Structure 1
Amino acid sequence: MIVAGVIVCGLIGSFASAAETYRLIHAIGNSETLIAKGLSKNECARMKQERLKIIALTGVGGSVSCLPESVFLN
């Protein structure tokens, strides 16, 4: 029983790790641009802040979002 519990916990941990990768998306109107994918939540948040500074300086506009990879899976 202990071995089965360890295997189940390992599988759950694997699924949790897979669900924690993100894509950084810059959207302007109906157009979306993929900036980066396969990021951790912290990496995505850091890159999002950098991108927001660039957008503010250039006046490009739009929105920047960190979306989980699971949103894009079929």
Structure 2
Amino acid sequence: MTETEARALATHRHYKGGLYRVIGVARHSETEEAMIVYEHLWPHERGLWVRPAAMFNETLADGTPRFAPLDIPL
């Protein structure tokens, strides 16, 4: 997938530059912790990942969001 193709699907950009699409929020079966289900789109092979919502939404020590939301036209 090219960066342009990924940009058309992406909802977030990782602080290291990768493009991702959030699929939804799931609950951990044992702890009920909110988990973000997301798809890596670019620059590596596509794949599904999960990460605790608190970590997905956190801001790094320098103030940069781990995953910055992209402007999505309505």
TM-score for the superposition, normalised by structure 2: 0.26
| Structure in which a larger fraction of residues adopt strand | 2
| Structure in which a larger fraction of residues adopt helix | 1
TM-score for the superposition, normalised by structure 1: 0.26
